[in-house]
């Protein structure tokens, strides 16, 4: 056995090239035991390639992958104790539920009584004790999901990989499965590596999230860190909703940056963690709609913040938004509470917007974009 402190999964300097295209570029990370780790990124960012390398279906072009402290570089997929839940689950339609789960145990030569016991045990744990004799097509979407997880968990893997398994489910079921997956992970106490392009899935379920873009990890952190302290413009824009403006720095004072957007709005903000901006730099500014305070403006009131006019209301219950057109022409999304009372903002109303400087984050604009 290896040392108990070895992380369940460790990648160091992993690269993957497909011809001239670099799908995964120099990725290093460690996942401690029992973590729910998500890799979040837009489609085509290389997250599936990374997962396939961990599972052994692709060989890294450079770098090394360690499972429980042991390199798996030349270990074929069927000898790695990493199991995978596929995007479309890939349950075997010609076998019933019991046979699907027993398949892996048969491959390692478990005897019959032991197989029956283990399969029943794992079915109990995913709360589907009576489906063993059913055919796969008789299961509902959520049940299939749980069987796919049970099929992997019965083998007691070091790491369970999940490749966007909720993508095919409808919205209601997806919400329910998010919670269920988190509970299952707690129950099995196994390291889950979850791949998704849906930021809400990643934020809700994960202990730690890695945001991936263009084959690189932009930032690894807890969901709160990613949301409140993004380190790159990509993370700020990709995780959660944000108002986003391009602008130019007009002045800096301590940790505070004054900038002017392309529309001409002058805003104070703070530079993102670990970034530096100087006067004259092109920057991108991010302000989340829920941090903007919207106040009705009366003619007598002293003018604070930015003034504008409500263009439109987007009603969505607790997540309602107001679209405010600033005097300079910039459009701002603001979270508002619409109670149906007389205090609600109405389209056409004059309002003023304000936010605390620490909630307005700016990053140097990328030369490429």
Partner 1 sequence: MVNQERRLLPGAGSVMKHRDARRLSLILLFMPLALWIVLLILLPHIGMGILSLREKIGPRQYEFGLANYIAFFQEPIYWHIMARTAVISLLVTVLALIVGFPVSYYIAKIAGPRTRGAMFMFCLIPLWVSDLIRAFGWILLLRETGVISGILQWTGLASAPVELLYNDAAVVVGLVYTVMLFMIVPLTSTLDGMDDAMIEAGYNLGGNGLTVLRRIIIPYAMPGIVSGSIIVFMLTAGSYLTPVLLGGKYSSWFTQTIYDQFITRYNWESGAAFGFLLLFFTSFVVWIGLKLSGQSLSSTVARS
The site for partner 1 (CB under 8 A) is made up of 55-57, 76-79, 82-84, 86-88, 90, 92-95, 103-104, 106-108, 151-152, 155
Buried b (16+ CB within 10 A) or exposed e, 298-320: eeeeeeeebbbebeebeeeeeeb
159 vs 361, beta carbon nearer partner 1: 159
Structure tokens at 202: 């990643």
290-to-142, 145, 228, 321, 332 alpha-carbon distances in Å? 33, 34, 12, 9, 11
Provide, rounded to whole angstroms, the least separation between the CB of residue 99 and partner 1.
9
149 vs 209, beta carbon nearer partner 1: 149
Provide, rounded to whole angstroms, the least separation between the CB of residue 67 and partner 1.
14
Centre a 10 Å sphere on the Cβ of residue 169 and count the other Cβ atoms it contains: 18
84 vs 193, beta carbon nearer partner 1: 84
Centre a 10 Å sphere on the Cβ of residue 258 and count the other Cβ atoms it contains: 16
Provide, rounded to whole angstroms, the least separation between the CB of residue 216 and partner 1.
26
- Per the CB < 8 A criterion, the answer to whether 119 and 132 are in contact is yes
157 vs 289, beta carbon nearer partner 1: 157
Provide, rounded to whole angstroms, the least separation between the CB of residue 309 and partner 1.
52
Provide, rounded to whole angstroms, the least separation between the CB of residue 338 and partner 1.
45
Question: CA-to-CA distance for 42 and 229, rounded, in angstroms?
Answer: 20
- Per the CB < 8 A criterion, the answer to whether 145 and 88 are in contact is no
Question: CA-to-CA distance for 351 and 369, rounded, in angstroms?
Answer: 33
Question: CA-to-CA distance for 145 and 160, rounded, in angstroms?
Answer: 14
107 vs 278, beta carbon nearer partner 1: 107
Structure tokens at 65: 């992958």
Provide, rounded to whole angstroms, the least separation between the CB of residue 110 and partner 1.
10
100 vs 219, beta carbon nearer partner 1: 100
């Amino acid at each position: 056995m290896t040392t108990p402190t070895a992380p369940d999964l460790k990648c160091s300097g992993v690269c993957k090239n497909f011809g001239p295209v670099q799908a995964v570029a120099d990725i290093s990370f460690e996942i401690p035991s029992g973590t729910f780790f998500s890799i979040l990124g837009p489609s085509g960012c290389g997250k599936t390639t990374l997962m396939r390398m961990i599972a052994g279906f692709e060989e890294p072009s450079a770098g090394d992958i360690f499972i429980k402290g042991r390199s798996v570089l030349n270990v074929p997929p069927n000898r790695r104790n990493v199991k995978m839940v596929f995007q479309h689950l890939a349950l075997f339609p010609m076998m019933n539920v019991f046979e699907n789960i027993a398949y892996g145990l048969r491959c390692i030569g478990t005897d019959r009584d032991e197989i029956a016991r283990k399969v029943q045990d794992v079915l109990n744990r995913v709360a589907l004790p009576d489906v063993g004799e059913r055919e796969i097509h008789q299961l509902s979407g959520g049940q299939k999901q749980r069987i796919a997880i049970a099929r992997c968990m019965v083998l007691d893997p070091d790491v369970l990989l999940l490749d966007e398994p909720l993508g095919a489910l409808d919205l209601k079921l997806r919400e329910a499965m998010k919670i269920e997956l988190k509970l299952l992970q707690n129950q099995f106490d196994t390291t889950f590596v979850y791949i998704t392009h849906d930021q809400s899935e990643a934020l809700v379920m994960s202990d730690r999230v890695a945001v991936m873009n263009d084959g690189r990890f932009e930032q690894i952190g807890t969901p709160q860190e990613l949301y409140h302290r993004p380190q790159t413009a990509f993370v700020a824009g990709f995780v959660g909703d944000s108002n986003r403006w391009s602008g130019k720095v007009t002045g800096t004072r301590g940790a505070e940056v004054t900038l002017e957007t392309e529309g001409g709005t002058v805003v104070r903000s703070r530079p993102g963690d670990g970034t530096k901006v100087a006067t004259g730099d092109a920057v991108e500014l991010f302000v989340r709609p829920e941090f903007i305070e919207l106040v009705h403006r009366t003619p007598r009131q002293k003018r604070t913040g930015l003034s504008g006019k409500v263009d439109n209301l987007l009603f969505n219950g607790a997540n309602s938004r107001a679209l405010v057109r600033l005097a300079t022409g910039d459009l701002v999304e603001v979270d508002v509470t619409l109670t149906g009372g007389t205090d609600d903002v109405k389209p056409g109303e004059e309002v003023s917007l304000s936010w605390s400087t620490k909630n307005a984050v700016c990053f140097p604009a990328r030369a490429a974009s």
